[in-house]
Amino acid sequence: KEQVAIITGASRGIGKEVAFQLAENDVKLSLLGSSDEVHKTKQELEEKGYSNVLSFTADVCKEDDVNHVVEATKNAYGKVDILINNAGIGGFKAVEEVTVEEWKKTFEVNVQGVFLASKAVLPLMKKQNFGTIVTVASDVSRYTIPEGGSLYTATKYAVQGFMGSLAQEVRENGIRVGTVNPGMVDTYFANGTQGDPEKAEWLKVQDVAEAIVYMVQAPKHMVIDELQLHPLIQQYPR
């Protein structure tokens, strides 16, 4: 039976590619992004012949927005099997240059957003005794970096802890919870431009999306707790 997935941050970057790869795997989609660009993703999918796509302009920081998306997805498809917590933001600067507003906003999107979307789908997943939640965390969920990454790293450590605890909390409800921790990926992240020649050796959105699809499509009895991947050119402390 066809599965149903909600993807946060599907306007561009990794989330958009995950949408294409899950559609290719016959998964019905509900896409969420804070800008209208998310509707472009739906349009592009439809142009490729994928018709089971909903799109919502919604902010993962806002409980009402997130609940509306989950409710509308349930009404349209009758269930939610998969949640991909992908929406995230980041910037890199020295601690004394980080404003309180930036601190709050980054935690709101990267941590509270994951909490809100997970909280909203859990009742449905518990009812059906099945579900998979994959969160795009980061390589900096596992170690610290020197280049002004304190705020971003703090949010990803938080998310890793949240997901690890959640995994144990809902295991007996048949719900699988995991994280994918990519190193440098060529996207629009941190005011970047996808396709920038300087990032030719970085991970591609396809690489990360394939890892996510692998986690989601694993046999039901198997949980992939964490996948860590990085470009060969990136130094990785171990």
Rounded to whole angstroms, the Cα distance separating 213 from 228 reads 14
Beta bridge partners of 133: 83, 177
Residues taking part in catalysis: 152
Nearest to 71 by CA among 58, 84, 89: 58
* Binding residues for ligand NJP restricted to 208-237, rule: CB under 6 A: none
* Binding residues for ligand NJP restricted to 183-212, rule: CB under 6 A: 184-185, 187-189
Minimum distance of ligand NJP from residue 67's CB (angstroms): 14
Q: Of 90 and 131, which has the nearer Cβ to ligand NJP?
A: 90
Binding-residue pattern over the window 141 to 180 for ligand NJP, x denoting contact by CB under 6 A: ----------------------------------------
* # binding residues, ligand NJP (CB under 6 A): 32
Query: Where are the alpha helices (H) located in the chain, listed in sequence order?
Result: 13-24, 37-47, 63-77, 100-107, 113-128, 150-170, 205-217
Look at strands 175-182 and 4-8 and give their pairing.
Answer: unpaired
Task: Give Cα 97 distance to the centre of its chain.
Answer: 27
Q: Please state the φ and ψ torsions of residue 133, each to the nearest 5 degrees.
A: -120, 120
222, exposed or middle or buried, with CB in 10 Å at 0-12, 13-18, 19+?
exposed
Q: Does 11 bind ligand NJP (CB under 6 A)?
A: yes
Minimum distance of ligand NJP from residue 221's CB (angstroms): 28
- For ligand NJP, the binding residue among 22, 27, 45, 60 (CB under 6 A) is 60
Helices (H) and strands (E) in the chain, counts: 7, 7
* Binding residues for ligand NJP restricted to 91-150, rule: CB under 6 A: 109, 136, 138-139
Q: Does 37 bind ligand NJP (CB under 6 A)?
A: yes
Which residues lie near ligand NJP (CB under 6 A)?
A: 8-15, 32-35, 37-38, 59-61, 86-90, 109, 136, 138-139, 182, 184-185, 187-189
